[in-house]
Every structure is written in structure tokens, then in C-alpha cells.
């Protein structure tokens, strides 16, 4: 089972119905688990394969566990640094408003 901090690759089960999915149809997303309960896995996703910005900025997204694959693409230090930088940017933006 997944736990917070696990890096994942999201592959929607809907692409299994497509014989030869294109890159756009595949909608593969890199992300990490933020929390887990008995029924759901909640994740945040990066905007692209470079993992520079979070796509999901306000809340985590509930994901079907069957659509997730454990996939380590960044060191845990890199992930923590990127999240810290993102939080810092959000605080700076809010202080301007």
C-alpha cells in the first residue's frame, strides 16, 4: 500500500480501452502521495515531466489505487526542496495581496 511521500506515476485506466494510445491520450502524470485512507489515495501532480511546478496547487486529488504505479523519478531531497520552494512562492504571493 502507498504512504505519504511515495512517488508515483498515474496511468488512467481509461487508456486500456484504446488500442494504441497517443502521448496526449495516455495522460501519464508524475506525482507523490499526500495521504491515504481506507478507500482513497490522495496525490499531488507535477505540471510536466520536469517536475518544476505543482499542477494541483490548492488540494490533493483522490486517485484510484489501481491507476498508480510506484515510480521514483526524483530523490526525496529534490522533492522536499521543490515543495518547500513552491510553498515559499505561495507565501510571497499572498503577502503582496
Domain ranges of the chain: 7-96
pLDDT of residue 28: 79
Residue 31 in this model has a pLDDT that exceeds 70: yes
| pLDDT tens profile 33-88 | 989 988 889 999 888 766 777 887 778 899 999 889 998 888 878 877 877 776 77
pLDDT of residue 92: 64
C-alpha cell at 81: 526542496
pLDDT of residue 20: 57
The single residue listed with the C-alpha cell 500500500 is 1
Q: What is the pTM of this model?
A: 0.72
Strands (E), 1-97: 7-10, 29-36, 41-45, 61-63, 68-70
Amino acid at each position: 500500500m502507498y504512504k505519504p511521500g511515495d512517488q508515483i506515476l498515474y496511468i488512467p485506466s481509461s487508456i486500456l480501452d484504446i488500442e494504441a494510445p497517443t502521448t496526449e491520450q495516455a495522460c501519464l502524470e508524475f506525482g507523490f502521495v499526500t495521504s491515504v485512507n481506507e478507500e482513497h489515495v490522495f496525490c499531488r501532480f507535477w505540471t510536466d515531466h520536469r517536475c518544476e511546478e505543482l499542477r494541483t496547487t490548492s488540494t490533493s486529488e483522490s486517485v484510484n489505487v489501481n491507476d498508480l504505479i510506484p515510480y521514483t523519478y526524483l530523490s526525496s531531497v529534490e522533492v522536499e526542496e521543490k515543495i518547500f520552494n513552491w510553498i515559499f512562492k505561495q507565501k510571497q504571493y499572498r503577502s503582496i495581496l
